[in-house]
Amino acid sequence: MSGVRRAWRELNQLAVAAGLAWVGIVPFLATLLTAGLSLIGVGLPLLDRTLVGTRTLLDRQRRRLPGPPVRSPYRPVGGPLVARLRTMAGDPATYRDLAFLFAHFCLAPVAVVLAVGLWLGAAQGVAMPLIHTVAPGAIDNYLGLPIDSLRNAALAVVPALLVGVGAYWLPRGLLHLEDLLTRALLGPSARAALAERVVELADTRAQTVDTQAAELRRIERDLHDGAQARLVAMAMNLGLAEELLARDPEAARGLVTEARTSAGTALSELRDVVRGIHPPVLADRGLAGGLAALALGAALPVDLDVDLPDRLAPPLESALYFTAAELLTNAARHSGAARVAVRLRRVDTTVRLTVSDDGRGGADPERGTGLAGIRRRLAVFDGRVRISSPAGGPTVVDVELPCES
């Protein structure tokens, strides 16, 4: 029964695509009309509104696709009317939009007719014995098989079943072709994707420099305000103890005790600073052990699932460790969850960390600094972060990092 529902759903999706294709021909024709009027000095505002409306319509088409999202390929548009039109007229994505609207208008209805025709043909063949019995001679041929007897009418069921198999799978193939067409024409071109990647890498480089500078300032501040102050106090106490040793041994002993306490505190603070740079547990037990330690110390119960056959490079282990720590902290503070699941896998040259909780959802990466900081940290490694957090939950954060094979 599920197969029938799936076939019906895919046929409906084809019908929706055909409907959208017929709707899409309106902005296509409107663009051509207003562009023609603009050549004689009128229609510029209409052309601007038409192009903006077309882009809005096709952005919805991009979001309709299943699978990986299709990024909007348009150049930023702003300024006065003429500048806006010049930008859109010089954007290759504008012409790719028009090509898609025309191709979609031509192909989508044909696809629906073909899919529905196959189903009707299969139904006719299966019903051929009944048709021949009720109205002999009404149909004299089915796919080259003469229907001149009840026996041949019954034999028509065999090719009809084959047609039915084709009718079952055809809509899925046609939807896949529509997906390919949409991604090819409505996604960024290879040149635009390369330019976008260059800009992304330049931004990542700048963010990395800023992040490293901020990290160095933090380490310097922690050392200055913590361990350095303790060491200065220890040196002063030892100097005073040296002066008092001959005439007041008890006072000197007290100063030495204070110096020893300061030394222990300074050592603890130095360990905290080192732990913030590269946690010792990673050096001792690797990322799997580090995640296990995080799970044990987390404020919420954690279901940990790690499948990592080999050690990763230390910078990758450190980045994933701190990412998991930040996500566990966020879940405990903001999600209202009862449990958290942490899953780590390595597949070929990619390592994937997934942290999910059963909380109320609604996490917004634009608010706060936690999720934005994770993105900045992982951008150094060309990592990708995907966040799904609908209202009501659950929240799922997927992190993917390339790693050496």
Burial per residue of 155-186, b for 16 or more beta-carbon CB atoms within 10 angstroms, e otherwise: bbbebbeebbeebbebbeebbeebeebbeebb
Alpha-carbon distance of 334 to 363, in angstroms, equals: 8
**Helix axis angle, 92-126 to 44-64, nearest 10°:** 50
Q: Identify the band that residue 285 occupies on the pLDDT scale cut at 50, 70 and 90.
A: confident
Element (H, E) at 183: helix 157-186
Q: Identify the band that residue 276 occupies on the pLDDT scale cut at 50, 70 and 90.
A: low
Residues 146, 147, 149, 153: is their CA dihedral positive or negative? positive
Does residue 40 or residue 32 have the better pLDDT?
32
224 Cβ partners below 8 Å, 6+ apart? none
Alpha-carbon distance of 285 to 295, in angstroms, equals: 14
Single-letter amino acid code for the residue at 337: A
3-state secondary structure of 365: coil
| Sheet with 302-307, side-by-side order of all strands | 302-307, 340-347, 350-357, 395-402, 384-388
Question: Tens of pLDDT along 84-104?
Answer: 889 998 888 899 999 999 999
Alpha-carbon distance of 395 to 373, in angstroms, equals: 18
Question: Tens of pLDDT along 102-115?
Answer: 999 999 889 999 99
- Residue carrying structure tokens 């110096």: 259
> For residue 234, is it left (φ>0), alpha (ψ between -120 and 50) or beta?
alpha
Whether 28 shows a pLDDT value over 60: the answer reads yes
Asked whether the beta carbons of 284 and 317 are under 8 A apart, the reply is no
Alpha-carbon distance of 192 to 185, in angstroms, equals: 12
Any idea what the Cα angle at residue 316 is, between residues 313 and 317, rounded to 5°?
A: 85
Set out the domains of the chain in order of their start, with CATH numbers: 1-186 (no CATH), 192-275 (1.20.5), 280-402 (3.30.565.10)
Question: Tens of pLDDT along 324-363?
Answer: 888 888 888 877 888 899 999 988 888 999 998 888 887 7
Alpha-carbon distance of 270 to 6, in angstroms, equals: 61
pLDDT, position 51 = 92
Could you check whether the bond before residue 73 is cis, i.e. omega within 30 degrees of 0? no
Whether 279 shows a pLDDT value over 90: the answer reads no
CB-side neighbour CA atoms (13 Å) of 279: 20
Asked whether the beta carbons of 237 and 265 are under 8 A apart, the reply is no
Q: Identify the band that residue 1 occupies on the pLDDT scale cut at 50, 70 and 90.
A: very low
Alpha-carbon distance of 355 to 395, in angstroms, equals: 8
Alpha-carbon distance of 20 to 63, in angstroms, equals: 14
Asked whether the beta carbons of 351 and 312 are under 8 A apart, the reply is yes
Question: Tens of pLDDT along 171-220?
Answer: 899 988 988 898 888 888 777 667 766 776 667 666 666 666 666 676 67
Question: Tens of pLDDT along 240-262?
Answer: 777 777 788 888 788 778 878 87
Share of the chain above pLDDT 70, in %: 87
The stretch 301-323 carries a mean pLDDT of 86
Question: Tens of pLDDT along 352-365?
Answer: 999 988 888 877 76
Question: Tens of pLDDT along 128-170?
Answer: 889 888 888 788 888 888 888 888 888 888 998 999 898 889 9
Arithmetic mean of pLDDT over the chain: 82
Whether 120 shows a pLDDT value over 80: the answer reads yes
